[in-house]
Amino acid sequence: MEQTLSTLRADNPGPFTGLGTNTYVVGQGAKTIVDPGPDMPAHLAAILGEVGSDRVEAILVTHAHSDHSALAPRLARLTGAPILAFGDARAGMTAQMQALEAEGMGGGEGRDAGFAPDVVVQDGQILTLGSVRIEVIHTPGHMSNHICLALGDTLLSGDHVMAWSTSLVSPPDGDMGAYMASLHKLAARTWRRFLPGHGEAVEDPAARLEALIAHRVGREASVLAALAQGPATASALTKTIYSDLAPTLHGAAMRNVLAHLIDLQSRGKVARTGTGPLSAAAFQLA
């Protein structure tokens, strides 16, 4: 499948984007563009240059974070191609996360709130786009509308699985329970290679999925071990569990801890103490 796929990297490096966002151009003759990326003129020019005189069949977006989706509307206008995605930025959000959002929980870092696809795709749907056959796999967790895209045994894995970093899971957009379920969903199948939204290819998908699952299970164990010492807030737990983390990443780490706490609470393993904003609440073992 690599013979019909090229990678373009947007120049938007950062702590959450690595070297930049990967845009994939798939197909021979007619092209499909996956994750057009941030709305940057230079990146738009690179995509159009890669497409050349070929028709663009579709623009697929793995999830509605601006570093993946913001360029989609302008690219659609220029090429006439429809935008396909699982839905808007809140599509797939569970009732629990909807309730937390309604209570005022923020944390939708990078959410492209105005994102609206022309065509909504479904889990398990097979898309035939020119010469390319793509299977849609709904993988909520990093974001509720996140999808991965299978081209045979190669998976365009978006931000769900990356080689260089673990995924940020920030409620209410992110959902730790859904994230873990999505990892297990992918691990139930045999893959040759993952091509992620940021960074280099994952050359041993089974090992990477196993490592990511083990990492989150270990973080959950650390949260429970810390709470065994007494009630604590997400912020306090983050300082304990991520003691060697750079201060600039403390906020993102705390969102991951909060995601673990929400998941543990839903499973009856921890309980919230008192009232007030969830992000500032203390938790204890149930």
What is the average pLDDT across 270-279? 83
pLDDT score of 74: 98
CATH class, 219-285 region? mainly alpha
pLDDT score of 1: 43
pLDDT score of 245: 81
Confidence band, pLDDT 50/70/90 cuts, at residue 3: low
Q: In what order do the strands lie in the sheet with 154-158?
A: 126-129, 132-138, 147-151, 154-158, 193-196
- Domain limits, the chain: 2-214, 219-285
Report the percentage of the chain scoring pLDDT > 90: 87
Taking 70 as the threshold, does the pLDDT of residue 232 lie above it? Answer: yes
Q: Which fold has domain 2-214?
A: Metallo-beta-lactamase; Chain A (3.60.15)
Confidence band, pLDDT 50/70/90 cuts, at residue 87: very high
pLDDT in tens, 112-129: 999 999 999 999 999 999
Closest CA to 90 of 123, 72, 70, 65: 65
| Strand 154-158 to 147-151 pairing | antiparallel
pLDDT in tens, 163-217: 999 999 999 999 999 999 999 999 999 999 999 999 999 999 999 999 999 999 9
Strands (E), 89-179: 119-120, 126-129, 132-138, 147-151, 154-158
